[in-house]
């Protein structure tokens, strides 16, 4: 019997050179915008994919590339001189063929909001792609997410939702800053209030003729929100007040801790409204930044302290010191603090800090007997790399009680700050290793 050679079937797909990704936080309006744009005669959209996150998200693609180009084994990628940029482009070609095979020759849209977390990778995989970053007020997003989640998530935590919004906003704005010609930020509230102007702007950005159908679909569509609001109804401050007033005191505090800065940066609230929200949440205005900068362990230590000082006064005291440190000291500074054992005084925006005097285990060694012992400790820690000595108001008596120590600082250090909160010396003198008989 004569064997017939097999026939190889190859399907050629006309690739879309300029796909569109609609990204943002969940419940920000990505789906309704994509569906509206799909009414345009040049565009096509279907369901959210999600597959790209599974294949390439969470750093997977970079892990694979590093492993394939490492020195351990001979690598095809290395032999072919392929860098990460080219590697990503070829990966994108395969996915593009997949989507283009269903888009009917139209420009395809993917509207999975989760892709905001891997937008930088997508920009490399699809060098001709455009991104529409949908930005919506965090109060509306959090309210909607707590009332609606798909797939259902019965144990959604309020803090996690606030963090999710802040993280998505930060990543989206970073993409817009990095690729201003490829990423347009679309504010949901502005698009709802003025859809004609909004879709005209989007059409120009996407370099396509304006058509009435996307705007018409958007005007007639309902956006399923937690407060039963139709998407074609202009948002109002009253809606936001209703959301805020339904939250518990704890939820208001959490929202300000996790999302307050992003709300300010993106102009959803101003300084005055921020102050009102902080006061309504039972906070002293300006303290949320300090509290948010602490680790869970630091917050727990403060709340569980046996001799807890007056909350507001203590917060303000630490905040004043922290502001001075942020303004006067470099981020990589190593700071000694005459803390008298107070851990809160060591929380200096991520700078390396330690107690003075410091014991062998790194904890507070207790007060020195005299100025000579203080000088000995200072020399030892200066030799170990300390750059600055911070004397908080609570330890200012050291400079009076130990005059030889103060004179040593004035001789070998440089006073760079002094106010009613703290004194800071730069330890400019040449570090010397101390001797036991000094």
Instruction: Sort 15 into a burial class: Cβ within 10 Å, 0-12 / 13-18 / 19+.
Output: middle
pLDDT over 90, % of the chain: 49
Of 169-178, 279-288, 351-360, the one with minimum mean pLDDT is: 279-288
Three-state DSSP class for residue 185: strand
Continuous segment of H or E residues that includes residue 337: strand 334-337
Q: How far apart, in whole angstroms, are the C-alpha atoms of residue 179 and residue 402?
A: 58
| pLDDT tens profile 29-48 | 999 999 999 999 999 999 88
| pLDDT tens profile 191-207 | 999 999 999 999 999 99
Q: How far apart, in whole angstroms, are the C-alpha atoms of residue 16 and residue 126?
A: 10
Of 138-152, 154-168, 397-411, the one with minimum mean pLDDT is: 138-152
| pLDDT tens profile 55-87 | 988 888 888 888 888 776 678 888 888 888 999
Q: How far apart, in whole angstroms, are the C-alpha atoms of residue 411 and residue 375?
A: 12
CATH code for the part of the protein at 20-231 = 3.40.50.300
Distance (Å) of CA 301 to CA 7, 291, 352, 421: 72, 12, 19, 22
Three-state DSSP class for residue 123: helix
Q: What is the pTM of this model?
A: 0.63
Residue ranges of domains in the chain: 20-231, 247-283, 297-426
Instruction: Work out the widest C-alpha separation in the chain, in whole angstroms.
Output: 109
Beta strands 414-418 and 422-426 are antiparallel
168 within 8 A of 176, measured Cβ to Cβ: no
């Amino acid at each position: 019997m004569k064997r017939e050679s097999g026939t190889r079937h190859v399907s050629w797909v006309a690739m879309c050179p300029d796909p569109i990704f609609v990204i943002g936080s969940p419940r920000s309006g990505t789906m309704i915008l994509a569906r509206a744009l799909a009414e345009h005669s040049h565009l096509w959209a279907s369901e959210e994919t999600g597959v790209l996150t599974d294949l390439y998200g969470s750093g997977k693609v970079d892990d694979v590339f590093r492993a394939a180009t490492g020195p351990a084994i001979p690598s095809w990628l290395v032999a072919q001189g392929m860098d990460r940029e080219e590697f990503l482009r070829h990966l994108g070609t395969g996915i593009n063929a997949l989507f283009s095979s269903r888009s009917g020759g139209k420009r395809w849209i993917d509207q999975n909001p989760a892709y905001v977390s891997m937008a930088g990778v997508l920009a490399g995989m699809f060098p001709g792609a455009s991104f529409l970053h949908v930005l919506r007020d965090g109060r509306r997003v959090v309210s909607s997410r707590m009332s609606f989640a798909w797939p259902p998530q019965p144990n959604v935590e309020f803090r996690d939702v606030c963090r999710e919004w802040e993280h998505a906003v930060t990543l989206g704005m970073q993409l817009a800053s990095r690729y201003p010609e490829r990423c347009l930020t679309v504010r949901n509230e502005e698009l709802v209030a003025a859809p004609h102007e909004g879709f005209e702007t989007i059409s120009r950005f996407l370099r396509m003729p304006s058509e009435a159908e996307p705007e018409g679909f958007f005007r007639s569509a309902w956006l399923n929100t937690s407060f039963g609001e139709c998407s074609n109804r202009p948002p109002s401050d009253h809606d936001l007040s209703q959301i805020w007033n339904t939250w518990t005191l704890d939820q208001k505090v959490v929202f300000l801790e996790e999302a307050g800065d992003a709300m300010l940066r993106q102009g959803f609230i101003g300084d005055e409204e921020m102050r009102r929200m902080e006061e309504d949440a039972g906070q002293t205005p300006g303290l949320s930044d300090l509290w948010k900068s602490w680790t869970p362990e630091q917050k727990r230590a403060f709340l569980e302290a046996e001799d807890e000082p007056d909350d507001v006064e203590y917060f303000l005291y630490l905040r004043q010191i922290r502001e001075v440190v942020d303004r006067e000291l470099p981020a990589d500074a190593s700071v000694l603090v005459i803390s008298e054992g107070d851990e809160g005084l060591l929380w200096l925006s991520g700078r390396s800090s330690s107690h003075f005097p410091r014991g062998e285990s790194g904890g507070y060694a207790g007060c020195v007997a005299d100025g000579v012992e203080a000088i000995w400790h200072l020399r030892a820690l200066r030799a170990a790399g300390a750059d600055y000595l911070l004397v908080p108001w609570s330890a200012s008596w050291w400079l009076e009680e130990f005059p030889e120590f103060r004179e040593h600082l004035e001789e070998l250090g440089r006073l760079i700050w002094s106010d009613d909160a703290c004194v800071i010396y730069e330890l400019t003198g040449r570090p010397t290793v101390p001797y036991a008989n000094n």
